[in-house]
Every structure is written in C-alpha cells, then in structure tokens.
C-alpha cells in the first residue's frame, strides 16, 4: 500500500478509549478519522472528524464507511471478522487484517496458534460441556482457571478453581455447559510483563516490556523498567516480534506473559491492537504506541522508541474519576477518556508518573 498523504481518511472500527487516543494522534499527524461504532456518543466519535453509528452486521453501512476511508483499522478484538471482511470486499485495506482478529477472538485458537509458532503457554483443555470439568482439572494438577473461549475481558467470564468448594464447582460446571470454555492450568507466576510491538511493511520495532499488576483480572498499573533480567525482556520481545510476523500483522500488537520462578515465560494473552500496558509510551518514549500504530497503518516509517525516564502508569477506575480534578495538577500526565458516567470498575482514565531520569 502507498503511504497515505496527510488529509487522508483513517477509519476505525470501534469507538472506545483506544480509538479516542488513536484518533487524537492521527489528527495530530494530519489525518481525518472516521469512527464506525454501534453506540451513540462514543469516546472516540466525539473527538473524530466523522462518525457513523451502525451495528457491525450492517453490510450496507460497512460498505459506505469503507468507501469513505483510505484505510481502516480496529481498536478492539471483538469486532466481528465479517465486518472486517465486508470492508475488504468494498475495496479498502484493513490493517491489521482479519487473521489477527480470528486468532485472538477465541482463547483456544489463540493458545493453539501461539504453541504452533513455538511460544509456550500454560497447559489447557478445551471443554464442550461441564461434565468433563473434573477430569480436565485433575489432568492439569488440580488447580485451574475456567475461561469462556470468547468475549471475556478484564477477568470477566473467568472462575478460579483452586480450593475445592461445591458452590464454585457448580458455577463452573454450569458456565462450561452454557458456552464453549477453556480450562487453563493455574500459573504460580512471579510477575506479569507484556511486550508491545509495532510491525510495518519494513519491519518490527518493540517498546521495552512493562511489568503489569492486576487486581481481580483488571490492570491497575504498569511499570517500566520491569523488575526482571535483560534475557527475560529479550525473550518477550522476540516472541512478540515472531507473533506479529506469523500473523502478518500491520500495526501495534501486545503479548502478555507470566514470568515463572526461574525466569521462563508463558504467554497468557495477545491483543491485536494498542494496549493498556503501553499507555506509558506516549509520555516516556520518542514515539508512543498510538502514533506508531497510525504510522504503520498509513504506510509511514515507524518512529524511534527510546525511553527517556522510568515510569509508572496507573489506571483510574469508575468512581475514582471524581478525585481527578484535584488529585492531578499537571506534574503527572493525565489522560481521561470522556466516558459518560463512571461505570463501576471500568477504566475511565489513566495517569503516567515519571520516576527518575534515565541516564
């Protein structure tokens, strides 16, 4: 694809905060952004040049949208694959393509793909019915996490099975009988890190891996540098790079890992998009993840990603937003997503705190 000239139109499927931060960076580089999103009043739509409100199965709306855009990207992995195919059928490039979505939308497909390209994960079993749960749990050593194969995020659709408890077992059995699930072995990890990489037609550039702290499945904070060895960091970056190549992915991609005692890495989850654990990059690096993604999808050269200081990024959840006007005075960098209301435990803003200057 030829490099897009400023003034070209970049379409985004999805209207959440990631779309909003992409749209703001795209506008800074001179592009017009067009948002396709089923919800009215979306965080991304409100900062973009254009928006259309329609469902992802509305072929007519997708075709018109595709023809209005010079290239289309997506900001979350649960966009139906058929929506991406409809845009491609209308003659517009989608970057990243359908394969990254297909692989990441289903935890079984995702883990199988990672293992096939030599990236280890926790052991897992696919479950078609809850009847097989006790046997599968036994095979995985007696402790595991049951997850829905599709549509889970931020720890939703997950049940921890560690200490025998009849109520939890019954809930897990019911969930596994209701929707296709995967049972993962419980990983007694030391810490969690993620690699955020950007691939363009010319090659891949990786940010330094961050260390990520979760609370009840939701990311609370990412710190850089991660408290681990250079070797662990480079294994993470190699895996992210290999994955981006295997998916023929154009744009940003994140791969989350468990760091096990002894330093082995097990991949947990991939996100075919800009990622919460990369929110520190626009402030701490020469080029942040949102600009890199826009550069990649527009066919521009990627920017340098040197980090200028140590940094901690903290998420602000739900009602915590009420403290924002008084709590942050500009010394730390605040990004607020403009969500209406303050939905409980949903991500509504983040703040990036500089720790020390890197010498």
Applying CB under 6 A, the residues found at the interface with ligand AMP are 122, 145, 152, 155, 184, 186-187, 192, 214, 217, 268-269
Other Cβ atoms closer than 10 A to 179: 13
* Identity of the residue, 101 or 183, whose beta carbon is nearer to ligand AMP in the bound complex: 183
Q: Min. distance of Cβ 216 from ligand AMP in angstroms?
A: 8
Q: Min. distance of Cβ 30 from ligand AMP in angstroms?
A: 35
Nearest to 216 by CA among 143, 152, 154, 149: 154
* Identity of the residue, 149 or 353, whose beta carbon is nearer to ligand AMP in the bound complex: 149
DSSP 97-139: -HHHHHHHTSHHHHHHHHHHTT--B--EEEESSGGGHHHHHHH
Please identify which residue in the block is written with the tokens 């890199």.
292
> Which token pair is 55?
């469902």
* Identity of the residue, 208 or 269, whose beta carbon is nearer to ligand AMP in the bound complex: 269
* Identity of the residue, 77 or 269, whose beta carbon is nearer to ligand AMP in the bound complex: 269
SS3 78: coil
* Identity of the residue, 32 or 77, whose beta carbon is nearer to ligand AMP in the bound complex: 77
Nearest to 141 by CA among 119, 156, 125: 125
> Which token pair is 46?
């409100």
* Identity of the residue, 125 or 333, whose beta carbon is nearer to ligand AMP in the bound complex: 125
* Identity of the residue, 154 or 332, whose beta carbon is nearer to ligand AMP in the bound complex: 154
The CA distance from 298 to 290, in Å, is 12
The CA distance from 6 to 23, in Å, is 14
* Identity of the residue, 96 or 152, whose beta carbon is nearer to ligand AMP in the bound complex: 152
Q: Min. distance of Cβ 327 from ligand AMP in angstroms?
A: 26
Please give the DSSP secondary-structure letter assigned to residue 279: T
Q: Min. distance of Cβ 256 from ligand AMP in angstroms?
A: 6
Q: Give the helix, strand, coil percentages of the chain, each rounded to 5.
A: 35, 30, 35
Q: Min. distance of Cβ 215 from ligand AMP in angstroms?
A: 9
Q: Min. distance of Cβ 276 from ligand AMP in angstroms?
A: 11
Measured CA distances, 139 to 128, 132, 147, 303 (Å)? 16, 11, 17, 47
Residue nearest to ligand AMP (CB): 187
The CA distance from 195 to 187, in Å, is 19
Q: Min. distance of Cβ 320 from ligand AMP in angstroms?
A: 20
- Antiparallel, parallel or unpaired: β 32-37 and 124-127: unpaired
Q: Min. distance of Cβ 352 from ligand AMP in angstroms?
A: 20
Alpha helices in the chain (DSSP H): 17-28, 59-68, 81-89, 98-104, 107-116, 133-139, 166-178, 230-246, 281-284, 289-297, 324-327
> Which token pair is 184?
């993962």
Q: Min. distance of Cβ 259 from ligand AMP in angstroms?
A: 12
* Identity of the residue, 95 or 125, whose beta carbon is nearer to ligand AMP in the bound complex: 125
């Amino acid at each position: 694809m030829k490099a897009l000239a400023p003034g070209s139109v970049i379409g985004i499927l999805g209207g959440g905060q990631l779309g909003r931060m992409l749209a703001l960076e795209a506008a800074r580089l001179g592009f017009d952004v067009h948002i396709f999103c089923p919800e009215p009043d979306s965080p991304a739509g409100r900062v973009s040049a254009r928006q259309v409100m329609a469902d992802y199965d509305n072929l007519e709306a997708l075709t018109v949208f595709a023809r209005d855009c010079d290239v289309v990207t997506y900001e979350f992995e649960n966009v139906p694959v058929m929506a991406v195919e409809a845009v491609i059928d209308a003659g517009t490039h989608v970057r990243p393509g359908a394969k990254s979505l297909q692989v990441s939308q289903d935890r079984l497909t995702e883990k199988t793909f990672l293992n096939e390209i030599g990236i280890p994960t926790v052991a897992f079993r696919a479950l078609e019915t809850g009847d097989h749960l006790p046997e599968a749990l036994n095979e995985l050593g007696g402790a595991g996490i049951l997850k829905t194969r599709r549509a889970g995020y931020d720890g939703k659709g997950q049940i921890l099975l560690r200490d025998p408890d009849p109520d939890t077992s019954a809930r897990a059995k019911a969930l596994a009988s209701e929707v296709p699930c995967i049972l993962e072995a419980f990983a007694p990890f030391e810490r969690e890190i993620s690699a955020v990489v950007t691939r363009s037609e010319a090659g891949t550039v990786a940010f330094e891996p961050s260390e990520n702290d979760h609370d009840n499945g939701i990311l609370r904070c990412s710190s850089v540098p991660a408290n681990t060895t250079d070797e662990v960091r480079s294994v993470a970056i190699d895996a992210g790079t290999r994955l981006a190549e295997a998916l023929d992915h154009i744009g940003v991609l994140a791969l989350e890992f468990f760091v096990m005692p002894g330093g082995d890495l097990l991949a947990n989850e991939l996100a075919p998009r800009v990622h919460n654990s990369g929110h520190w990059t626009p402030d701490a690096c020469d080029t942040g993840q949102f600009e890199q993604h826009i550069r990649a999808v527009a066919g521009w050269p990627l920017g340098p990603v040197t980090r200028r200081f140590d940094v901690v990024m903290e998420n602000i959840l739900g009602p915590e937003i009420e403290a924002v006007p008084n709590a942050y005075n500009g010394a730390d960098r605040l990004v607020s997503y403009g969500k209406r209301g303050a939905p409980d435990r949903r991500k509504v803003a983040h703040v990036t705190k500089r720790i020390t200057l890197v010498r």
